[in-house]
Each structure stands twice: as C-alpha cells, then as structure tokens.
Chain A
Amino acid sequence: NAGVTQTPKFQVLKTGQSMTLQCAQDMNHEYMSWYRQDPGMGLRLIHYSVGAGITDQGEVPNGYNVSRSTTEDFPLRLLSAAPSQTSVYFCASSPDRASPLHFGNGTRLTVT
C-alpha cells in the first residue's frame, strides 16, 4: 500500500515551459487536492476534486489545470510556467471531504 505517490520529486523549468505533476493514490479515496507551500505562507489550495469527473478551484488556481478521469489519478498541469510558480507542491487525498488528508511527499519545482 503506497498511499499517495507524487512524481517527479524535483523539477526545474524555464519560464514559458509546460509540465504535468503526477499524483496517484491507491486507497480508493474520492477526495483529492493540490496545495502549494511557500515559506511563511503555509499551504494554499490550488484545485480539488470530490470524485472522478469533478474538479473545482481552490484559493490560487490561476496558471494551473487539473483533470480527474479516474479515482486514482489527479494530475496538475502548469500551462506556461512562471517564476512565481516556484514552490513545493503537495497532493493529498481522503475518503471524503470531511476526513483527514493523506499527503504525498511533494514535488519541489523551480522556474527560472
């Protein structure tokens, strides 16, 4: 039972490049979410999903897209990377929106 798996662990992008951060969970959780963590800011919610086929915006959605075609996977796409998107990104899941979250170990992204 791997829990929440995020890939890659580290990534460096140039401004304007696009990429997808992968997130997969093997716990059959309905609820999945993406956060970014910046120094002194805590975690800020980017997008979330309450089930396959359903996604919604969080606090800081601009510049990011998500999709949820399966229960297991919740990829986060950066359409045109900007230096302001340099951050550590965490994916999390839970059985439902009211239950505690299980976090992956994060992807550290640097945009130059």
Chain B
Amino acid sequence: SQQGEEDPQALSIQEGENATMNCSYKTSINNLQWYRQNSGRGLVHLILIRSNEREKHSGRLRVTLDTSKKSSSLLITASRAADTASYFCATDAYDGNKLVFGAGTILRVKS
C-alpha cells in the first residue's frame, strides 16, 4: 500500500503562476522527499525535508512539513513551461530501508 498520496492528481496553470501540490502520509517518518519526473525519463530528486524541519527552500521550490497532520506541500513559484512534469512525494518510514512513493501529481504549465 502507498504511504504518500498526492493531491491534486493533475494541475494545469499558466506560466508565471504558482503551483501547489500536497502530500499526505500515514505513519511516522524520518524524512520526506519530493521528486520530479519528465515524460519518459527517470525521477529526479528535488528536495528532502527531515521530520524535525518545518520548511525548506531550494530556488523556486518551497516545501513545508506538518508532522502533526502527516502532510507536506510543494510550492513552485513563478512556474515555467519547463516545470511541466509529474511530481512525487516519497517517505522514509522509521522501519527504514524503503522509500515509498505516492501516485504523483501531473503538472502542466501552459505558455
């Protein structure tokens, strides 16, 4: 069964707008990661946030983590057409050798 579930399943926005994707998970975690997947390619790591962190930034990306609600969000600011991709959250549970992925959010940025 999946640990993380992304919401929404799909998102379509105009270039320059912000995109927000959410991830909910079920059990306690060590860390939560976000990945991007361009069509026909492997996943690329974007950002890792540890369970004792609440917010993290990387360029135009901002990730928040609320362990009390077991949820995380990924914000992409000033989106570009090149941001069009699928985005996945993944959690590393305490029993730990496994990184479990959600089903992903498909983001389309229209130019």
| A interface with B by C-beta (< 8 Å) | 4, 31, 33, 35, 40-45, 48, 50, 56, 58-59, 90, 92, 97-98, 100-106
Contact = CB atoms under 8 A, between A and B. Distances in A.
Given A40-B103, A42-B88, A101 B97 contact: no
Contacts, number: 57
Contact of A43 (B31, B40, B48, B101): B101
Nearest to B50: A98
A103 B42 contact: yes
Would you list the 10 A-B pairs with minimal beta carbon distance, nearest first? A103-B42, A100-B45, A42-B103, A43-B101, A42-B101, A103-B43, A105-B42, A97-B97, A42-B102, A104-B42
A4 B42 contact: yes
Contacts of A35: 101
The A interface is mostly helix, strand or loop, or mixed, namely: strand
A4 B45 CA distance: 14
Contacts of A41: 2, 103
A105 B42 CA distance: 4
25 contacts: A33-B99, A40-B103, A41-B2, A42-B2, A42-B103, A43-B101, A44-B101, A50-B97, A56-B97, A90-B42, A92-B42, A92-B43, A97-B96, A97-B97, A100-B33, A100-B45, A100-B48, A101-B43, A101-B99, A102-B45, A103-B43, A105-B40, A105-B41, A105-B42, A106-B40
